[in-house]
Structure 1
Amino acid sequence: MLFDFLKDKELCSGNSMHYIILFNVSPPLGNVMKVIDTIKENENLKCLPMFLLTTSIDDKDIINSYTSHLNCYIVKPNDLEGLIKVLDTFKEFWLNIATLP
């Protein structure tokens, strides 16, 4: 569904809106990694910054995520206050400080 929405857009042409993709996934991460790999193989989409928000602290998941060119792996805090702080920090950095393609 996400790929269907994105596949015909020329998001890496420099002539489009800025997009980021934030996946909120519970383990196992297998299906989302397939989606990330599919997006990164597409010339029109591979420049999109992609982030993973998950409860997994498994080293294998972390390594596989970065090997698949994920831009950021975020482990969800266990409490609402911590999650709000993480999301506020994420928003501040990626939407106000970083330069997006």
Structure 2
Amino acid sequence: MTSAALTDPARIVNVLLVEDDPGDVLMTREAFEEHLHNRLDVVTDGDAALSYLRYEEPYTDHPRPDLILLDLNLPRRDGREVLAEIKNDEQLRSIPVIVLTTSQAEEDVLRSYQLHANAYVTKPVDFDGFIEAIKQIDHFFVSVVKLPN
């Protein structure tokens, strides 16, 4: 992607954040508002994430996400189940999924990659570190990687 394409307002990257922690949602929104120029939609549980991705009520009017930031520890349906459903769905599997979680457990890392996560990022505990991690994810998946249309 050229730098001209990055500044092209027609190529806004649509990001879906699946996160139930209000503090993490707030920090992610702040990172997007102050440092990034992409669209961020948020759902707070695994069932809502799948409804959003399948355009089910009440999520019938939004662009298809170009990138999903997925927490593992979610209510109703956890992130592992959501990841498995996304990667087993022919219509959804091409959307890159970045697991963004507090878990540093090796079994969570291994299981996420077995379920075909595109990346696994442990959330930094401090605000500046969290903002920097979001910026780096955005930079890599928007500026470096070619996403499918």
Give the shorter-chain TM-score range.
0.7 to 0.9
Equivalent residue number for residue 119 of structure 2: 72
* Count of residue pairs brought into register by the alignment: 92
1:5 partner amino acid: Y
Q: Percent identical across equivalent pairs?
A: 29
Coordinate RMSD, CA, aligned: 2.1
Give the Å deviation of 1:49. Answer: 0.2
Q: Show structure 1 runs of 4+ deviating over 4 A.
A: none
What is the TM-score with the length of structure 1 in the denominator? 0.80
Contact 1:7 1:44 in 2 (8 A): no
Are 2:144 and 1:97 equivalent residues in the alignment? yes
Corresponding residue number in structure 2 for 1:13? none
The 2-side partners of 1:40 and 1:76 are apart by: 23
Letter in 1 for 2:100: L
Asked if the contact 2:99/2:117 (under 8 Å) is kept, the reply is yes
Residue matched to 1:42: 89
What TM-score, normalized by structure 2, do the two folds share?
0.56
CA distance in structure 1 between the partners assigned to 2:64 and 2:82 by the alignment: 21
C-alpha distance in 2, partners of 1:95/1:19? 9
Q: Contact between 2:72 and 2:78, CA under 8 Å: does it hold in 1?
A: no
Q: Judging changes above 3 Å, is the alpha-carbon distance between structure 1 residues 17 and 6 closer, same or farther for their aligned structure 2 residues?
A: closer
